[in-house]
Amino acid sequence: MSTMTFKGYAAKIEYSDEDACFIGHIAGIKDVIGFHAETVKELRAAFEEAVDDYLATCERVGRAPQKPYSGKLMLRVPPEVHARAAMMAQAHGVSINQWASDVLAHAS
């Protein structure tokens, strides 16, 4: 499984051997938006078209489009993990939020 991103939206991509094509769905929103194509180039175009169509439809019907994520992430971790994160953040001279954001950005 892979992902694509466009205008702040991410798509979950899978391959259907049965249909011999790639199938994508926009992730992180409650609206269900799917697209498909036979090549990666066509899939990219279909994804971008799906996002643009979603945004245009929301504007046409007067509804705000759902945003994938707010940027706020609440975590509950064991105290020893919290202490280690605080120590690592201090060692790097940044806040825990910045340290965690950097670590998550580089996670695969």
Q: What is the pLDDT of residues 29-44, one digit of tens each?
A: 999 999 999 999 999 9
Give 37's strand partners.
22
Q: Does pLDDT of 108 surpass 60?
A: yes
CA distance 99 to 97: 6
Model-level pTM?
Answer: 0.67
Q: What is the pLDDT of residues 57-81, one digit of tens each?
A: 999 999 999 987 777 888 899 999 9
